[in-house]
Every structure is written in structure tokens, then in C-alpha cells.
Structure 1
Amino acid sequence: MYRQVLDPVAGSLAWSSLVAAIPLLTLFVLLGILRMTAWLAALISLAVALVVAIVVYPMPAGPAFLAASEGAAFGFFPILWIVINAIWIYNMTVATGHFDVLRRSFARVSDDQRLQGVIIAFSFGALLEALAGFGTPVAITSVMLIALGFRPIKAAAVALVANTAPVAFGALAVPITTLATVTGLPLHDLSSMVGRQTPVLGVFVPLALVFIIDGRRGLRQTWPAALVCGVVFALAQFATSNYVGAPLTDIVAALLSAGAMVLFLRVWHPAESYVEGTGVRTTTAGAAGAAGAERAGGSTTTMERPARPPAGGAGNGGERDSGAEVFRAYAPYLIIIAVFALAQIPAIKDALTSVTKTFNWPGLHIQSSSGKPSTLSQFKFDWLDAAGTLLIIAGLLTIPVIGIRPARALRAYLATYHQLATAIVTVMAVLALAYVMNASGQTATLGTWMAGAGGVFALISPILGWLGVAVTGSDTSSNSLFGALQVVAANKAGLSATLLAAANSSGGVLGKMISPQNLAIAAAAVGMTGREGDLFRRVLVWSLVFVAVMCLLVYLQSTAVLGWMVP
């Protein structure tokens, strides 16, 4: 039995925290400064974490390596199990040509890539996050953006930044339900509180996306549509999380924001239509006037622009698809929604969970610093109820609908493992690192040290969640790590436990874009394996800016200024 020690360095929590941070600093330096490939950086950082656990913390080598093995197993199941099967469904649609139909359908909403990026990466990505989470939206939407003509690094960056506001309620609100479990706080209170924090992000993320795509000009020309999308998403997320239920929050917000964009673009268009690498089309009439002239059968004067490259050749002109083809293109995602919805019916859910096995990882026995048995060594193998398994079921149902031969579907499945090979190594290594830090006490050392800030802790509370997601790649895992600690810190400082627990989840979503796990998935999806460091530097500033905004919001909510927002 290993009992955690939080201050192994000279009995000082501060000095111990500096040492405990070494594995994380190693990971970020290797990725962001030395530009090392993610799988190698993750393995080196894992080795550093093991050394710190064994040499600095009094953790024997056996339990340390067992903790690493449990983390690697968790990295594959359930996390990679979701991503692999989601990408498999996508790969089948590519093989049959139905993905091209879907791409053309999205493109017909607008031929402006700035708006396409918002619809696909933000709204459609939020729907994927609501259903599966764990990197699935980043993997699928980044490839969709490439098909519309985006450069790979820009497509990946847009997908990563977009995967923020929906994350707290992702995978049918698993992060929130996990937070309620580990803190003992009412689920509805936590859902309501998070629903009064992340919608603020939802308003600004679409604006950030158009800035990433086309800079200040893009923001100046497309802010009305981006703002409509963000505001509708934020209002829907707030209303659903507070008055309907956490699991449906992102589904409702995603569908309503996409619908609002489609309707708004029927009456408004930007003055210039942006297509990367081909220049811009400029209308001499106003944007709304141009749309009206087109509907009236008139025309507007435009500057000629070079033809769009084949990769982005899904415009309002060109090839038209039949209604049946469009339906089959959307069918895989409709099937996914139906399968996940049916899985929530109590009788079906009970049947799926009846075969779930929860067991202690063999040979791993851990006590917290207070002497209580730790749940870190418990492994939940919900093989039938897992989101990845539901995606396999959806994939099997998709096969006859899109008309792909079973043998070809099997080849696509095997090819998916080959495509994600380095991402698989990266994710398993990062989760192994996280489990070693958790089991040895390194993570608890960092959290406890930060929690000693007293009343000021409200200002830095979201950073703890941000740190947890940056390491594990999962808001669910971050809530498991730090949820209870946030409550303890809140009680010591006389702050709202509901506020700080929710801040852990809301701040955590902003660490998603810099998580090595997500960076590896994005890089593999767009063919940039080995350049995860480039992606890291491209999105780091956005992560820091947004987490600073969240810190300020939570701090104000802890005072009389915005205290009325706390349920």
C-alpha cells in the first residue's frame, strides 16, 4: 500500500510543487520550444514523471509503473476507443464519396470560408462533442475544413480553438455528472453554474475563429454572422443547462446555432467572400442588397477571382446532389444521434450497463495523504455502454445506408488504426504520465499549493481545471482530479463550493486545445504528424487569453459584482 506524501521536498509544499511541475514543464518545452514530435515528447515526459515519483516522492517503482500501465489502458479505452471508431465512420463516408456530398451541402450555406469555419468547427463540432467528445470533433471537423480548401495547420487550429465552449457538456454531460459524483454537490446546481460561465465563451469563440481564418479583415466583415451564431449558442446553452437538463445542453445549442446561421445568411452576406489562396470577391452593392438582388433574379457586379481549387470545390455552383444523396451523406450523423439517444432510455441503458465491470488495477493499492483509500486504482470497463462501442454500432448501421461493402468497411477500419498510430502512442503516453502524477501525489501537491491562496483562489481556480485538462486531455479527468479539492479550498476560503467546482470544469475546457492528446489527434487527422509543436504555439495564446477571461469572470462571481449569478 502506497500512501501519498504531498511535501516530500524538505517538508515544503512550495518546493515540492516546483519539483512536481517538472514533468509538465518538460512536456510543454519539448512541444512548444524544441518542436519535438508529440509521441516522443510524451514518452520522455512520462519517464521524467516516473523518476520524480520514484526518486523524489516515496513511491516504489512497482506501483509507479503499474500506475503508468493503468493510465495507458485508460488512454486506449475509453478515449482512443471513441476517436478511432468516430474516424472510421468518417473514413467510410470518404471512401464512398458521401463526405464530398456533405461538404458541398455545408458549402452551399455560404461560399465564404470564414463562415464555413464557424458552422463546421463550432456548431457541427459542438454536436459531435455533445455525442462523443474526447477529440472526436477536432478529428472530424479539421478534415472537413481541409476538404473545403483550408490549409492543414489553419484547419487544425480552427478545430482546436472551436472545441472549447461545448466541452463542459460534452459526451452527454459526462464531465458535469463526474463533477457531481466526486464533489457530492447537486448535479442541477453544477449544471446551472457552468451554464452561467461557458456561454460567455460561446459568444466570443466564433469571433475568434473568423479572426484566425482571415485576421482583422475577417472579423470586420463577418462579425454579424459570427455574433449571431455565438449569441444563439450561448443563450441555448444557458437555458438548457439551467431549465432542461445537462445531457441535452450541447445538442440543443449546436442545432440552434447552426439553424440561426443558416437563416441569417439567407438575408445577409459579407461584402467580400473569402476563399483562402484565391483572393476575395468584392460586391459593389451592399451585402444584404446583393442577397436581395440574387433572390429577385437580378445580379451584382463582382471582381473576378481565380477558380477555387478542387479541394474546396463545393460551392453554390457546379455539381448538384440529389435529395437522396444528401440524406445519405447526413445519415451517419443522424444514426449516431439516434443510437446515443436510444442508449439514454432507462431500460436500454440498464441493459448496456449490466455488463460493466469495475475492478482495482492488479497490484496497485494507493492511499491519499489523509490515509483514505484512493479510487485512482479503480478501472471501469463499460465495454458495451462506452461511447466508442455505441459508435461501432452506429458504424455498422451506416454500412448498408451508404452502400459500402463490408470488406471495404473492414479495410477502412484497419486503415484507421494505421492512420492514428502515432496519435495512439501519444495519447496512451500522456495518460500514463497523468496517472503517475496522480498516483504519486504530484498532481495533489500542485493543487493543494494553489488552493492555499485563500480568497484569491477564486481568481486562479479555473487555472487548476485548465492545468488538469492540459495534462489529461479530458475535462472529465480534470474534474475527477481537482473537483473535490476545489470544494475543500472553497470551504477554507469561505467561498461558494458550487462556484469553484464549476470553475474547474469551465476553466478546464480552455486547456483542451493545448492538450498533447488533442494536438496529436488534430495533427494526425490533417497529415501533420510530428508538427504538434507548431500547432501548440499557434493556439497557446488563445488558450491563455480565454482562461484569463474565465478567471476574471469567476472572481467577479465570487464578489458582490456578479455574485447574483451563483445559484
Structure 2
Amino acid sequence: MSSGMLAFLAFTPILLAGILLLGLRWPARRAMPLVFVITALIAYTGWDMSVNRILASSLQGLVITIGLLWIIFGAILLLNTLKHSGAITAIRAGFTNISPDRRVQAIIIVWLFGSFIEGASGFGTPAAIAAPLLVAVGFPAMAAVMLGMMVQSTPVSFGAVGTPIIVGVTTGLDRNAIGERMEQVGANWDQYLQLVTSEVAITHAIVGVLMPLFMVMMMTRFFGRNKSWREGLEVLPFAIFAGLAFVVPYAITGVVLGPEFPSLLGGLIGLAIVTTAARKGFLLPKTTWDFAGRDEWPSEWFGRIEMKLEDLAARPMSGFRAWLPYILVGAVLVISRVIPEVKAAFTSVGVGFSNILGEAGINAGVQPLYLPGGILVMVVIATFFIHRMQVRELTAAVKESGSVLLSAGFVLLFTVPMVRILINSGVNLSDLPSMPIAMAAWVADTVGGIYPLLAPAVGAMGAFLAGSNTVSNMMFSQFQFGVAESLGLSTALIVAVQAVGAAAGNMVAIHNVVAASATVGLLGREGQTLRKTIWPTLYYLVMAGLIALIGAYVLGLTDPLA
């Protein structure tokens, strides 16, 4: 079989997912089970994988899914707990007192608070929190959704305390093979992953510093009385200041501490710096900008808020006590990753499976306390006492979180095993390369040296289809690694821009737009949002691609495997 036919056959599951999700508009809960079955059939008939290896890969995917669902559950549970404790109400009230200028409010609430929430929770929660929060303080629902989608960019690669890197890249690459090669040059897997993390953080910092300005300019152009780009530019000094206040600690944290903390600490530090500066009037524009009166808004700007304000608990609570659970999340995460004794205690609880069904190299495990999900649940228990909650309030939060988990879990139960079959297909009876490597070889031969410019777009395509940076990294990290190796480029650099592109793809991910729209009652108008968010997405992909080209051919970046 020719390399082109092999590549096409390997690409068929991804192509099928695109046709079903986009062309036929199937929901993921219908599409992904079928894609999983087709992937298994291709692995068996086209790749000569044994039934035992296909089953082992599927079981490996299920174990990985359990860990992923544990993180999702913890993230959503903390959000719902704060909703019922009254903390979200107190946090909202604090934002409205900083500045009456809607441009300033958008930067603080969406860019900084949204980035912090992404770092702590991920999985679309920034838009789910920021959009109704913006509507609550007087933003049009459609503007709120657009802004909420735009923050699904720079912080996303390190969302949910690093899940897209820790789970997505780690399980998307052949960790065993890379680890063995790293040992041959006197290094190890952790050092390779840290190199990828550092390059992701630096690339995002360079590209993302302008995102607050773009947010404001798009808001004044599409939702302002005068439809003016210039009114957005008036806030340029403050917007750049806010961009730097986030990306500088974000990049430093990524390089020094690893993938768990950049968005979490960048958002927290940025919030402290920028809100203090805004209260003192530092770099604020001379004029105060606001939307036109509500009676002048077009009907399509309005939505029915599903997370109604009256649904939020309200009780006397200081801003510090409201924020304390998120501070605890950051503190416990840092302690559990930095202090060896604490890390050892957290990792001592877990279950692992080696050589599943006797298949060499197919391993998986779950460490419930060390995973971010366990830490988030610990903080929820602490919050119950700190916020003096009643049992019925915590019970309601658990029920709401469980219902969300069921819907997300069903799709992941098929998506992650499908990805593992693709990755583990390199062991077969026909001595063929794995499916991602087959695609990589064809792309490398066809596109050649300009590939770094296109690498972020591959990641964005995965996020667009799957609605997840993590899943995109699972699907395409090994593919990107293979292309880089075929072209003699730094594998870490190309895997890094895969993660960056996958983060940017969240701005146009259909699942995310639907989820954000649902929080403000705008379901059915997703197309209008996508037509706006495609522009910042293109900016992000072009800039990341140019950085990759410069890194590869001007700076000559390499890694131990190059």
C-alpha cells in the first residue's frame, strides 16, 4: 500500500469525526461511538493489529478517562459549591466596584478572572462563569459569549491545573519510547515534558499579550453605539499593561514550576496587579465607554440567562473569604508538586496497570489524591466549613456536578480509547508504522520545510472537532512529533505549537460555543459568535506558526532527540 493510501486510511477516523460533527451536525454522543468502532475496524483490518492489542488499548483509554473525569468532576464541583455558598455573588459584586468603563470591566472579568478560572477549572468553565457574570453587570448576552470564547486561548494550554499538557501531551505521545531515548542521552521524560511546557508558555506569552486589546476592540466594533475600532484602541495602554500583567508571571511560572500553575498563578497575580492599578486610575482612558441603552440593542443581542442571579446564593461574605477556596487550590497544588514529602504522600494512593492484557508498553494508572481532581475535592470539603454551608447546599452542588459529568463522560469513554488505538497501532502483524506516524511521514514528504507554519492549525483542527485542547493533544501530539522527526526539526518545538494551536482552536470549538451560549440563553445563534471569533483564532494560528518558523530556522532550536 502506498504512503498516501496509508495516510488516508489513518486519517479516516478524524475525517469521519469531522463529517459527522460538522457536516451532518451529529452530537458528539452519537458520533464518537461510531468513530471508535470504525477506528477499531481499521486497526484490525488495515493495520493488522491483534484483537488483544485493540482491547488493551481500549482498556488503557478507559483508565485514562477515569482520571480525566475525576479532574472534570472536581473542577465543576468547586464552581457549583461556590455558587451555592454565595462566594460567586461576592466575587461578582467586587468586580462592579472597580471601574464603570465597560472596556476595563471586560479586561478584568474576562481576561484576568477568566484566565484564573481556566487555570483552576478548565473544560469551558471560564465562559460558563464569565458570560453570565458579564450579563449580570450589564453586557449584552451576545457580547458576553464572544468575550467568553476569546479567553479560551492563552490560558487554555495550562487549564485545569495543566491537564492539556499533563494528560493530553503525556498520553498523546509514546512516553515509553521517548523516555528510553532520553535516557540514552542522560536525560529523562520529565525533562522532555518540561521543555515542551516552557516552549508552550513562551509562545503563548508572545502571542497572547495582545488578546485583551483584541477583546476590547471587537467589543466596541461589534457592540458599541458607534461601531468603532478606535474606541477600543483608546484603552491600548491599559490593555497592554493587563496583557503583560498576566503573561509575564504566566511564562515565568511555566518555565520554572511546570504545567500545573501558569494560568492559575498568572491570572491570580494579574488580577491583583491590574485591579489595584485600575482603582488608582493607572493608565485608564480619559473617557468612560459604555454600551448604548438597552432599548437600542438589536433583539439578537439578548438571551435568556439560564444561570439566573436569583439562583445564586447571597449571604454576607468578605471578598477574601469568597476567594479563599481558589487561593487554597493554588496553595495545595504548589505544595503537593514542590515539597517531595507531600508529593510522596499524595502519590502513594493509587492504582496502576502495567502491560495490560499482556501487551508490552500499554500501561495506565490513576492517583486520585495527586490528580487535580482530588485536590479540588479536598478544597470543596474545606469550603463547606469555611463558608459555613448547609448540607443541602453541598448536596445540590454534588448533584449538579454529577449530571454534567455523566454527559461529558459518555463522549470521553469512546474518544480517549479511540486515541489510544491510534497511538498503539505501531505494534502490528504487518510491521507498519503507527497511524499518527504514517500521517506524519506523508505530510513531511508533501509539505516539507514550511510545516512549522502549519503545525498550530493541526492542533486547532483537533480542538475544533473535539471541543478540547486535551483531546486534540491526545490525537495529534504523536503525529506532530513524527512530522518534526521526519523533517529533522525540534520535536519539542512542534509538539509545543500543537498545544498552542489546540488552545486557540477552543475559540471556534462548536462544543464550547454551545456551552457558553447556553449559560445566557443564546442557543441557536452559535454561528453569529463563530463568525466573530474566527478572526482572533486566525491571528493566533498565524503568529504561533511564524514563531515556530523562526524558532526552527532562525534560532535553530533543538532538543535532546533532534
TM-score interval, normalised by the smaller of the two chains: 0.7 to 0.9
Q: Does 1:401 align with 2:386?
A: yes
Q: CA deviation at 1:162?
A: 1.0
| Distance in 2 (alpha carbons) for counterparts of 1:505 and 1:190 | 9
Which of 215, 221, 225 aligns to 2:238? It is: 225
User: Deviations 1:64-102 (Å, cap 9, x if unpaired)?
Assistant: 466456535533x22232223222222233234332221
Question: Distance between the aligned counterparts of 1:131 and 1:236, measured in 2?
Answer: 16
| Corresponding residue for residue 128 of structure 1 | 117
| Residue aligned with 2:289, SS | strand
Structure 1 residue aligned with 2:321, among 309, 324, 328?
328
C-alpha contact (below 8 Å) 2:75/2:122 kept by paired residues: no
| Corresponding residue number in structure 2 for 1:434 | 419
Q: 1:155-178 CA distances to partner (integer Å, 9 max, x unpaired)? A: 444333312212334455565567
- Helix, strand or coil at the partner of 1:384: coil
2:256 is the alignment partner of 1:271 = no
SS of the residue aligned with 2:408? helix
Q: Which runs of 5+ in 2 are unaligned?
A: 183-190, 222-227, 298-304, 426-433
Residues 1:37 and 1:494: Cα distance change in structure 2 (over 3 Å): closer
8 Å contact kept, 1:272–1:280: no
1:443 is the counterpart of 2:433? no
Question: Are the counterparts in 2 of residues 196 and 565 from structure 1 also a CA contact under 8 Å?
Answer: no
The 3 A distance-change label for structure 1 pair 102 and 237 is closer
CA separation of 1:151/1:336 partners in 2, compared to 1, >3 Å: closer, same or farther? farther
Return the alpha-carbon distance in structure 1 between the equivalents of residues 52 and 511 of structure 2.
26
Checking the alignment, whether the CA contact within 8 Å between 2:21 and 2:465 is kept in structure 1 is no
Do the aligned partners of residues 425 and 246 (structure 1) sit closer, same or farther apart at CA in structure 2, a change above 3 Å counting?
A: closer
- Which of 263, 283, 297 is the matching residue for 1:250? 263
User: Which residue is 1:28 aligned to?
Assistant: 18
Change in Cα spacing, 1:69 to 1:242, as seen in structure 2 (3 Å) is closer
8 Å contact kept, 1:32–1:534: no
- Mapping 1:66-215, distance limit 5 Å: 67-68=57-58, 70-72=60-62, 74-75=64-65, 77-150=66-139, 154-173=143-162, 182=175, 183=178, 184=182, 186=192, 189-215=195-221
Structure 2 letter corresponding to 1:336: V
Q: Kindly tell me: are residues 240 and 339 of structure 1, through their superposed partners in 2, closer, same or farther at Cα, counting changes over 3 Å?
A: closer
Deviations along 1:378-403, one digit per CA (max 9) or x if unpaired, are 22211221111111111011012222
The alignment status of 1:506 with 2:500, answered yes or no, reads yes
Which residue, out of 454, 462, 473, partners 1:460?
Answer: 454
Q: Distance in 2 between matches of 1:157 and 1:60?
A: 47
Q: What SS does the aligned partner of 2:150 have?
A: helix
1:236 pairs with 2:249: yes
CA drift of 1:197 comes to 1.3
Q: CA deviation at 1:428?
A: 3.5
C-alpha separation in 1, matches of 2:494 and 2:19: 29
- 1:202 deviation in Å? 1.5
1:13 aligned onto 2:6: no
User: Could you report, residue by residue, the CA deviation over 1:16-69 in whole angstroms, capped at 9, with x for unpaired residues?
Assistant: 333333333333344444444343343444444445444544346675466456
Q: Structure 1 residue 277: deviation in Å?
A: 6.7
Which residue number corresponds to residue 547 of structure 1? 541
List alignment gaps of at least 5 residues for structure 1: 1-10, 282-308, 315-319, 366-372
Q: Structure 1 residues 144, 486: CA separation in 2 closer, same or farther (over 3 Å shift)?
A: same
**Is the 2:455–2:545 Cα contact (8 Å) retained in structure 1?**
yes
Aligned residue in 2 for 1:368: none
- Contact 1:79/1:134 (CA < 8 Å) preserved in 2? no
RMSD across aligned C-alpha pairs, in angstroms?
4.1
Deviations 1:416-438 (A, max 9, x none): 22245433333444334433443
Contact (CA 8 Å) 1:84, 1:416: kept in 2 or not?
yes
Given that 1:274 and 1:280 are in contact with CA atoms closer than 8 Å, whether structure 2 keeps it comes out as: no
1:144-200 CA-to-partner distances (Å, cap 9, x unmatched) read: 344445555654443333122123344555655676894545555444433431112
CA distance in 2, matches of 1:143, 1:463: 30
1:390 paired to 2:375: yes
User: TM-score scaled by structure 2?
Assistant: 0.76
Q: How many residue pairs were aligned?
A: 513
How far does residue 413 in structure 1 lie from its aligned partner after superposition? 0.6
Query: Cα–Cα, structure 1 residues 47 and 486, in superposed 2: closer, same or farther, change >3 Å?
Result: closer
> How does 1:315-354 map onto structure 2 within 5 Å?
324-344=317-337, 345-354=339-348
CA contact (8 A) 2:453 2:548 kept: yes
Amino acid at match of 1:443: P
Q: Give the superposition deviation at 1:107.
A: 1.9
TM-score, length-scaled by structure 1: 0.76
Q: Deviations over 1:325-374 (max 9, x none)?
A: 32332222223223323322321111010122221485483xxxxxxx4x
Deviations 1:431-479 (A, max 9, x none): 3443344344443433333233442232233344445555666656655
- Counterpart of 1:296? none
Q: Pick closer, same or farther for the CA change 1:21–1:312 going to 2, 3 Å.
A: same
Secondary structure of the corresponding residue to residue 383 of structure 1: coil
Tell me by how many angstroms 1:555 deviates.
0.9
CA contact (8 A) 1:74 1:428 kept: no
For the 8 Å contact 1:27–1:45, the answer to whether it is kept is: yes
Distance 1:420 1:355, change over 3 A: closer
Instruction: Give yes or no for contact 2:43–2:54 (8 Å, CA) kept in 1.
Output: yes
Q: Specify whether residues 360 and 537 from structure 1 end up closer, same or farther in structure 2 by C-alpha distance, changes over 3 A only.
A: farther
Residue 261, structure 1, aligned to residue 269, structure 2: no
Q: What amino acid is the match of 2:241?
A: V
> Hey, what does 2:397 align to over in structure 1?
412
3-state secondary structure, aligned to 1:558: helix
Instruction: Supply the distance in 1 between the matched residues of 2:521 and 2:306 (Cα, whole angstroms).
Output: 18
Q: Cα distance 1:116–1:237, how it changes in 2: closer, same or farther (>3 A)?
A: same
Q: 1:51 to 1:564 in 2, by over 3 A?
A: closer
Report if the CA contact (8 A) 2:107-2:239 is conserved: yes
